Amino acid sequence: MSLLVIDASVAAKWFLAEADSDAARRLLDGEPQFAAPDLLFAEVGNVLLKAVRRDELLMRRAARCLTLLSSVPMDLHPVAGLAADALQLAARCRLGFYDAVYAALAARTGAQLVTADESLARALRGHGLHQLVRWLGDRETQAS
């Protein structure tokens, strides 16, 4: 399996029952090679906290999810080293800065960004960056 950059929209689906959660969990099969900016933990933590506040998840389960996330084999990259590239990508593709950080990491490592965020995938593809992104909702992604 080649290196995949995983964004928070995918990692959150590893722990929450949402659309395409099964496809996200299948990415964990075998011996996956993942990379992510260290921003991933803040974003997934925020998603889990929102689920706790909506009474969809117990706090102890949310804490366990973060522990499990830290056990997933993944190369973490500091946002500081990606910031300049992310800013350029965000401006070029009209992305939010956080989303652009993941895309910048994919571009830098030659990996593919896997996202459950269809608008992010569309924005990157719309700027000729098809090879950079895989949308989790694509049937091809779900089959792999």
Along the 144 residues of the chain, how does pLDDT read in single tens digits?
Answer: 589 999 999 999 999 999 899 999 999 998 889 999 999 999 999 999 999 999 999 999 999 999 999 999 999 999 999 999 999 999 999 999 999 999 999 999 999 999 999 999 999 999 888 888 999 988 654 444
For the CA atoms of the chain, what is the radius of gyration?
15
Going by C-alpha positions, the residue among 66, 36, 30 that lies closest to residue 51 is: 66
- The per-residue pLDDT for 108 is 96
Q: State how many domains the chain has.
A: 1
- The per-residue pLDDT for 140 is 55
Q: Letter for the amino acid at 76?
A: L
* C-alpha–C-alpha distance, residues 111 and 12, integer Å: 20
Strands (E), the chain: 3-6, 33-37, 74-77, 112-115, 133-135
- The domain spanning residue 58 has which CATH number? 3.40.50.1010
- The per-residue pLDDT for 1 is 56
Going by C-alpha positions, the residue among 1, 20, 2 that lies closest to residue 10 is: 20
- The per-residue pLDDT for 130 is 82
Strand ranges across the sheet with 74-77: 74-77, 33-37, 3-6, 112-115, 133-135
Host domain of residue 81: 3-143
Going by C-alpha positions, the residue among 129, 68, 136 that lies closest to residue 100 is: 129
